[in-house]
Amino acid sequence: MKDWLRRLWMNLQHIFYFIFGRNHKCQCGHKAKWKTKLTVNGECGVYTLKKSKENCPTCWANAAIKCAWCGGNICCGEPITLYTPKENSEIPSHAVVYKQTPHIQLVGCLRWDCAEGGIDRTGFWVMPGKVKRVASPMEILLGGEHDNILIVNDLHDQNEAIPIPDEIVKPDE
């Protein structure tokens, strides 16, 4: 879709729901319209409540972070990588550290310039702003722990991913 058309469509939805939409009480305690226009770090989009109404648009936007490598947005629900920066390289201040030991691991996005490919998808960024570690396609291929090899069709789908519990991956608090 053309950019101006997308923006027009976004604004129309926003205005429509702002005027006619009713307020929904979200699980976070805030009220929100079914659709709300949102700007996250300069990126514009329309946030649609989920049926479960877990998060209002504000809480969701506040949980977004920037990719350690390109600085682009990583919003909740998006797939991520956990690369280790090269030794002695400077870590940008916006970078989110997943682990300090044994190697520092930074949360990055799965855009073309930032990831080697879907094979490096190692988790998802989830509410309220943390990493949900899942087996990467590479780990699944090499893994002895997971006997049943899974063919991952959609790397952006959390439901097709194998979660690794926090007790095993032990993220930094």
Stretch that binds Zn ion, among 63-71, 79-87, 90-98, 126-134 (CB under 5 A): 63-71
CB 71 within 8 A of CB 94: yes
Q: Does 70 bind Zn ion (CB under 5 A)?
A: yes
Q: Does 69 bind Zn ion (CB under 5 A)?
A: yes
Interface characters, 71-110, with Zn ion (x: CB under 5 A) = -x------------------------------------x-
Please state, in angstroms and rounded to a whole number, the distance separating the CA atoms of residues 39 and 125.
Answer: 18
Interface characters, 106-145, with Zn ion (x: CB under 5 A) = ---x-x--x-------------------------------
Long-range contacts of 8-12 (CB under 8 A, 24+ apart): 10/37, 10/44, 10/45, 10/46, 11/37
Contact residues for Zn ion, defined by CB under 5 A: 28, 30, 56, 59, 67, 69-70, 72, 109, 111, 114
